[in-house]
Structures are given as structure tokens and as C-alpha cells.
Amino acid sequence: MFKNIVLALAAFASFVSTAPLELEQRGLADVYHKYTGDGSAAAGWPVTEDWGEFEGLWSRNLPLIKQSCGWNNWGADNSDDEIRNLKSAITQVASETGVKARFILLIMMQESKGCVRVPTTANGVRNPGLMQSHNGSGSCAGVNPCPKSQIVQMIRDGTAGTASGDGLKQLLAKTVAHYGSRQPRAYYAAARLYNSGSVDYAHLENGFGSVACYASDIANRATGWTLAASSC
């Protein structure tokens, strides 16, 4: 949750460098733009209409989800069943919490690249599972196969929150209250909070010691970024 997990993906970039035509037509492109400032359209950040829908973003990220475990030496790559259960878990928890499925997907990709066997990190707080949640109970680190119940729990921990800390639902409630509406800036600021626990609404690149580019990364993932080199 408080650490961006970096992948060495360049060697595999050619496999997914060309997106399906229908995704490109909807504006999803594997490019990276560095965003700074307050998350507004005036500051150049993507607006809601620029974001891909869940199915398009899922398709864009599926090649990474299929091989992210092996790329990182985290164990066996996700099986077909695990991938089906992962997609189902995202839509299930989105329905339970009211958090958009595509936002859950973006945070999951930022935290674990969708590897169900992602290790638990600990940077002052224990962060397990697909969303590197705040001391959640869901984890399949070193477990193969990963049960559906654990996949759902990992997504639920990061989205609904845990007894130890907030999830996306609670963080969005805070940022929506700040802005007075559920606008794109609320999602970018919630992502900032998810990573660092604090937010400077005027400067979302302020990581408070965490990943400075986290909110910018989420904005780029929302418009199709997967493997292109980051300029942030």
C-alpha cells in the first residue's frame, strides 16, 4: 500500500506494444505523461471521459496479469482459474462497496500487477495481498493455487478497508467531501492517500516520503498505460 512495486517489463514489451484497434479508438494508449499539480483538467490531468471502461482496461492489462508473478520471481504465474476469479472478485467488491471496478483495477495493477502471489511488504505497516492493504487478512504469498476466497478477501481488504486502516471506499469518501463531488480529482487524491496516508490537494506529486508519482501513475493507467517507459 505504501510502496510502489516495480517490474522489469521491458524485455516483454513487444508482446503487448500494439493495443487492439477498438481500445486505441477509445483513446486507450500505452503512453506515459507526467502529471503534477492539483489533479484538475486545467492542470492537464485526464477527465472522466478520457478513462477507459473496466472491460477495456482489463483487456489492456491482461497480458501483465498473466505473467507478472514469473517476471518478479513471486512464484507460478496466475492460472486461468485464478485470473477468472480475480476479475470476478473486482466486480463483486465493486458492487459491495460502490467503488468503481475500474478504479479498483488501477490500484491493484499499481500495487501488485495482478499477481495473486505477491509478497507481503512492511514499511512501518504490514501490507499484504493484491492491493497491499493496510494489515489485511487476505494473502496468497507462497500459495498455489490461490483460493477464490482469498482473492476476494485481498480485493475486499484494499477496497473496503480493514480493522487497521482505510480502503479505497473510505479514502474516496474523504476526497469527495473535500471537492464536493465525485470528480476525477477525487480519485487521484484518493490514490495519493492510499499510497502515502496524506494528501496535499494542490500538489498530488507530494508523496510525503512515499511514491511521488503514484497519483500520476494512476491517471496514466486510467488511459491505458501499461509498459511504456515512465517519464516520472
Q: Residue 13: pLDDT band by 50, 70, 90 thresholds?
A: very low
| The three three-digit cell numbers of residue 75, written as one number | 512464484
Q: pLDDT digits over 50-70, tens only?
A: 999 999 999 999 999 999 999
Q: Residue 80: pLDDT band by 50, 70, 90 thresholds?
A: very high
Question: What ranges do the domains of the chain cover?
Answer: 33-222
CATH of 33-222, one of 1.10.20, 3.40.50, 1.10.530, 3.90.1010: 1.10.530
Q: What pLDDT does residue 124 have?
A: 85
How confident is the model over 80-86, as a mean pLDDT?
98
Q: Residue 1: pLDDT band by 50, 70, 90 thresholds?
A: low
104 within 8 A of 61, measured Cβ to Cβ: no
Q: pLDDT digits over 115-136, tens only?
A: 999 999 998 899 999 999 999 9
Q: What is the SS3 assignment for 197? A: coil
220 within 8 A of 34, measured Cβ to Cβ: no
Instruction: For residue 121, list its beta bridge partners.
Output: 127
- Alpha-carbon span 188 to 105, nearest angstrom: 14
Q: pLDDT digits over 182-225, tens only?
A: 999 999 999 999 999 999 999 999 999 999 999 999 999 999 99
Identify which has the larger pLDDT, 97 or 124. Answer: 97
Q: What pLDDT does residue 123 have?
A: 82
Q: pLDDT digits over 149-187, tens only?
A: 999 999 999 999 999 999 999 999 999 999 999 999 999
How confident is the model over 85-113, as a mean pLDDT?
98
- Closest-CA residue to 186 (of 123, 100, 126): 100
45 within 8 A of 218, measured Cβ to Cβ: no
